[in-house]
Amino acid sequence: MASKKPLVVVTRKLPDPIETRMMELFDARLNVDDHPMSKTDLIEAVKTADVLVPTVTDRIDAGVLAQAGPNLRLIANFGAGVDHIDLATARERGITVTNTPDVLTEDTADMAMALILSVPRRLAEGERLVRAGKWGGWGPTFMLGHRIWGKRLGIIGMGRIGQAVARRAKGFGLSIHYHNRKRLHPEIETELDATYWESLDQMMARMDVISVHCPHTPATYHLLSARRLKLMQPHAYLVNTARGEVIDENALTRMLQKNELAGAGLDVFEHEPAVNPKLLELDNVVLLPHLGSNTIEGRIDMGEKVLINIKTHADGHNPPDRVLASML
């Protein structure tokens, strides 16, 4: 007799090939119209599900997990970041949490590099000008930006994505610097021609471009505080494709308004999907709707990892992408 398929509740619409396979393998409840689930919806889901498949838009906090039924034993997150899940409470309740690491590295690094290029060269500002019909033709001093060749790039968080950005940036002639909890192996430093800074403050004060690639944890909340942002030089640029909460967004906005920073490229926001309305008024900022990992290939790769994690867990084995207690 075939064993009962686990009841899997998926909180958002996933790529069609992944949803099809989900239906084949499990007793799946899909979110056909892709509406973001309310807290009430999430509570109802955890009461009945064997497996919950949330995304970054779902706040799986202690209040939600307190209502979880006895059958919920796996949260198979569709995404690498897990700051939206209360990992401590999940662990206390015996719920395994998995994520989808390694598949978003190149896509996110591409987006970071795009912002590193577009902000100093004023690409978004120029595109808006053309669309508005306000371009009067080429001029020798028209919309001058800054070259990035020969400039110093400071990377905050030198994990997989940070290193992928460094490889790209090196090809564009940027000098690579980084701050990380742990220094990289000398072979990797040599490969990237990267300079390590133990002091984030000292690095911030000397870079032409800062790119953020650390996760959002209690330790990194407002890592780039008002005080630390003020260490940056007025000609410098800030790029963030990690998590909005890492930066004090109000402080950043004030500095950009006063031209205390040359510009910023933001793919993530502190209170997304809400965006500080004052940022919307600024020409020296490129604003994107959290597109860092948005490729068809990446989304399918993420979904396949979710499937593997659920199937492995259902078969009684430890899933390959468990989020361990060390991440708390």
Catalytic residues: 243, 272, 290
Please state whether beta strands 74-76 and 263-266 pair in parallel, antiparallel, or not at all (unpaired). unpaired
- Asked if the bond preceding 320 is cis, omega within 30° of 0, the reply is no
Structure tokens at 290: 């959290």
Q: Which of these, 242, 241, 239, lies nearest to 284 by C-alpha position? A: 239
Place of tokens 């000397």: 206
Cα separation, 270 vs 273, in Å, equals: 9
For 74, the enclosing helix (H) or strand (E) is: strand 74-76
Measure the CA–CA gap between 143 and 149, rounded to whole angstroms: 18
Contact 164, 105 (CB under 8 A): yes
DSSP character string of 257-314: HTTSSSEEEES--TTTT---HHHHT-SSEEE-SS-TT--HHHHHHHHHHHHHHHHHHH
3-state helix, strand, coil split of the chain in percent (to 5) is: 35, 15, 50
